[in-house]
Amino acid sequence: MKKSLLIFMVIFLLMPANTFALSATAYDANNLIQSEQFRLELIQDAISRKENINLNLKNFSDSQAQKIFNHITNIIFYQSNMDIYSITMDGSVTGKSANLVLNLDYRMTPDENTKVNEWIKTTMDPFLALSPSNLDVIKFVNDTIVKHVEYDLSYEKNSAYHAVFNKSSLCEGYSFLTYKMLSYAGIDAKIISGVAANEDHMWNLVKLNNLWYHLDVTWNDPVYSGSFKKPLNYVSYDFFMLTSTQMAKTHTWDQTLFPLAK
């Protein structure tokens, strides 16, 4: 079974004496968590790979800070599906007004992301030209990644770029590449994080015929210890399109953050 090293550096800083050129929109801190407009704008900013996101808040108090930051990280990590490695927040507070800046650190550079997108297009276009079913596309993505990528036993590679061009990655690279390939084919997918085999782990949710399923491409690419070696081009389907009940036998996650696969 695969074990993974998943690292999210989440740091909260409020600095009292900095000035930032912030956007004109001012959100009410009391209603920020319920704001659909804020959620959608934040997701779009992350999808657009913005490194700095400005945020103005009114009716802000120090007691709200951690709750708001947790809400922001949940949106970015679990809903934007981008390869964000860390988030920090700094800014200034004057009375009940807060001028904040979110600083996003990505696993891939813009150039690396472009190269991955080009590889996905070259890899998938010939297959998509055959007009396959969505299930066939999902299987193609699973098989392609398993055959192309080896699990990084050095625990150093963690991006879709590493998976494509180094042919090696931790679960982060597997799951982000899976997400990007499925999205390119027009299939709804999400990246999910949790715990498996007592290690932090990432895998995917994928939507087929209006139902969600779990897909763990990393664990479909098994590594055998000792003298045993993985057979050439061996692909497992033990973690292919599972329900939440089936997945919960080996994986745990915050089920309030993700759709139920049933």
Distances (CA, A) of 32 to 37, 46, 82: 9, 18, 22
> Do 28 and 133 share a domain, yes or no?
no
Asked, for residue 258, whether it belongs to a domain, the answer is no
Which of 203, 83, 185, 66 is CA-nearest to residue 134? 185
> Do 166 and 49 share a domain, yes or no?
no
Domain hosting 15: range is 9-106
Asked, for residue 43, whether it belongs to a domain, the answer is yes
**Residue 81: which CATH number?**
3.30.110
Local confidence pLDDT in tens for the 262 residues of the chain? 443 333 334 344 444 433 333 355 789 999 999 999 999 999 989 888 899 999 999 999 988 888 999 999 988 888 887 788 889 988 888 999 999 899 999 999 999 999 999 999 999 999 999 999 999 999 999 999 999 999 999 999 999 999 999 999 999 999 999 999 999 999 999 999 999 999 999 999 999 999 999 999 999 998 754 455 566 678 999 999 999 999 999 999 999 989 999 9
pLDDT at 91: 85
> Do 121 and 179 share a domain, yes or no?
yes
Segments of 59-210 assigned E as strands:
84-94, 97-106, 150-151, 168-169, 189-196, 199-208
Asked, for residue 238, whether it belongs to a domain, the answer is yes
> Do 194 and 242 share a domain, yes or no?
yes
Last residue of a domain, one of 51, 84, 106: 106
> Do 68 and 80 share a domain, yes or no?
yes
Element (H, E) at 211: strand 211-215
Beta-carbon contacts of residue 52 (< 8 Å; ≥ 6 apart): 101, 102, 103, 104
> Do 118 and 247 share a domain, yes or no?
yes
- As a whole number of Å, the CA-based R_g of the chain is 20
- What is the number of domains present in the chain? 2
Regarding pTM above 0.85, the answer is no
> Do 158 and 241 share a domain, yes or no?
yes
Residue 182 near residue 123, CB atoms below 8 Å? no
